[in-house]
Amino acid sequence: MIGMILLSFLAGLFISVSRVVISKQSLEIGALASSFWNHIVGLIFILSIVLFSGEILRVDFVQIPWPYFLGGVIGASFVAINSWVIPTLGATKTIVFIIGFQMLSSTLIDFYLDKIHQLPHALLGVTLIVCGFLCKKFWKKI
């Protein structure tokens, strides 16, 4: 379990660093070009790992439901949007909004899928997220 927590921390670090690097690159070559090259390099990297592991040989692509492939479209859109947003808002504000709305949308999805077993706790969590946004918004006015 501790290993997975450490990997989660590493993933968080990678997300922050990659967003900053891609946003800097987007200032130089443009947001779409930056997103494009990010995905080409990422494809080459992950393809080499998958081919080395032999895992791709065990996949029957015909058996994969087509909506699952939309994850790639959503992921590419996420990177492209960040390429435009981070240079304007900055990395910290963008990450705060991403995490906040990710928590809110995840709660709604869990509620829709009937995965929330303690609704008061979920509502408290959503309330705290909204309060965090409001504190950030009004903090400069104080």
The DSSP-derived string for 97-111 is HHHHHHHHHHHHHHH
Q: Region 115-119: what's the mean pLDDT?
A: 86
**84 and 100, same domain (yes or no):** no
pLDDT recorded at residue 141: 59
Percent of the chain with pLDDT over 90: 17
**Span 51-96, pLDDT tens digits:** 888 777 677 888 889 899 898 899 889 888 888 888 888 888 888 8
Number of domains in the chain: 2
Regarding whether 130 and 60 lie in a shared domain, the answer is: no
Q: Which residues contact 26 (CB under 8 A, 6 or more apart)?
A: 33, 34, 35, 83, 84, 86, 87
Q: Which domain holds residue 30?
A: 1-89
Same-domain pairing of 14 and 50: yes
Q: Please indicate, yes or no, whether residues 55 and 2 belong to a single structural domain of this protein.
A: yes
14 and 60 together in one domain: yes
Residues 74, 98 share a domain: no
At 33 the pLDDT is 92
79 with 98, same domain: the answer is no
Shortest CA distance to 84 belongs to which of 27, 42, 37, 28?
27
Q: Are residues 121 and 69 in the same domain?
A: no
Answer whether residue 133 shows pLDDT above 80: no
Res. 10 pLDDT band, cuts 50 70 90: very high
Nearest to 32 by CA among 70, 73, 75, 76: 76
pLDDT at 62: 86
What pTM, to 2 d.p., does this model score? 0.68
Q: Are residues 37 and 82 in the same domain?
A: yes
Same domain, 54 and 78: yes
Q: Is 78 in contact with 15 (CB distance < 8 Å)? A: no
Q: 128 and 105: one domain?
A: yes
Rounded to 5 degrees, φ, ψ at 22 are -65, -40
